[in-house]
Amino acid sequence: MADAASVPRFVARPSDGRRIAFETLGPAHGFPVVLLHGTPGSRLGPRPRGIVLHRLGIRLITYDRPGYGDSDRVQGRDVAHAAQDVRAIAEELDLDRFAVVGRSGGGPHALACAADGELRDRITRVAVLVSLAPAGAPGWFDGMNDDNREQMGRVLTDPVELESEIRRRASGIRTDPDYLLGLLAEQMTIADQRVVSDAALRRQLRLSYRDAIKNGPYGWIDDLLALRRDWKVDLRAIIAPVRVWHGGEDTFAPAVHSEYLAGQIGTAELHVRPGAAHFDAMPELPRTLRWLAGRSPLPSLATP
């Protein structure tokens, strides 16, 4: 998947001095695409190797959401807050026009950027892979595996216990890089197990998880709270073309979430792949990047 991690760059927000860690990969003059990582995750999460990005003509920009990796925490942040950080990175890199893509927990944050009043005219295309829907969407828990259902439910019923559990999991990751993958494997479908059996992908996931919590579990905790509360995002304000992709067998964030998103976003096109699941979003990324850069259209896939 990805090349060895580079040293992060930082942008400091003038208003509060808070640092945002980011990095760029691929050709310097390639088409810029901002990738928003999953939950938990970091800028080091799975992405195509540099040689693939050069072939695609993509300048990929990844960053740590607040509290993850090397980015300073913002306690109490909502999903809409992501647009502030992406704006700061875009200004630092002098990006006039760019695309955004979010995977899993990064999907809602990518949509927040596309809906933001100061960004939406600069964003050319948007893609969300295996994204969650807002908490008020009907059937939010339908088809979700037991562990995710329990953790997401605790956000509203027992946030103190949720934080304790995430701290335990972060401690497990620090002790054993395979800890979280082992925990997730208990909830994986056969399709997910097949994807995660790839040794290179497993290494990248371990690296991302370890980096995500190296300064504490705060980004993970804040993500879960933000995803289950009001996003403060108006999905109807999105004007860029949106590709909403989901694996039909996903049990971490079931496809009903993407069906809802596609119904709320006037510019969205829904693609549900039968037989695929949550982690299939990772090998799907290069194909999505080609679409985001406008290199080629994507054929329609099966939809429910």
What average pLDDT does the chain have? Answer: 94
Q: Give the phi and the psi of residue 287 in degrees, each rounded to 5.
A: -65, -40
Strands of the sheet containing 19-25, edge to edge, are 9-12, 19-25, 58-63, 31-36, 98-103, 123-129, 242-247, 268-273
Alpha-carbon gap, residue 161 to 28, rounded angstroms: 45
The three-class DSSP label of residue 11 is strand
Q: In the predicted model, is pLDDT for residue 118 greater than 80?
A: yes
pLDDT tens digits, 78-111: 999 999 999 999 999 999 999 999 999 999 999 9
Closest CA to 278 of 170, 158, 121, 148: 148
Sign of the C-alpha dihedral, residues 111, 112, 118, 119?
negative
Residue 13's pLDDT is 76
Residue 302's pLDDT is 40
Residue 227's pLDDT is 98
Residue 4: pLDDT band by 50, 70, 90 thresholds? very low
Q: In the predicted model, is pLDDT for residue 288 greater than 70?
A: yes
- State both tokens at 265: 């976003």
Half-sphere exposure for 236 (CA within 13 Å, toward CB)? 0
Residue 17's pLDDT is 83
Alpha-carbon gap, residue 165 to 124, rounded angstroms: 39
Residue 15's pLDDT is 74
Residue 303: pLDDT band by 50, 70, 90 thresholds? very low
Q: Output Rg (C-alpha) for the chain, integer angstroms.
A: 17
Burial class (CB in 10 A: 0-12, 13-18, 19+), 234: middle
Residue 6's pLDDT is 63
Mean pLDDT computed over 250-254: 98
The residue type found at 230 is D
Residue 297: pLDDT band by 50, 70, 90 thresholds? low
Percent of the chain scoring above 70 in pLDDT: 94
pLDDT tens digits, 14-70: 678 899 999 999 999 999 999 999 999 999 999 999 999 999 999 999 999 999 999
Q: Are 214 and 8 in contact (CB under 8 A)?
A: no
Mean pLDDT computed over 256-265: 98
Mean pLDDT computed over 215-233: 97
Residue 8's pLDDT is 86
Residue 12's pLDDT is 84
pLDDT tens digits, 147-202: 999 999 999 999 999 999 999 999 999 999 999 999 999 999 999 999 999 999 99
Its pTM stands at 0.94
Residue 216's pLDDT is 97
Q: Are 214 and 92 in contact (CB under 8 A)?
A: no
The three-class DSSP label of residue 197 is coil
**31 strand-pairing partners:** 58
Alpha-carbon gap, residue 222 to 67, rounded angstroms: 8
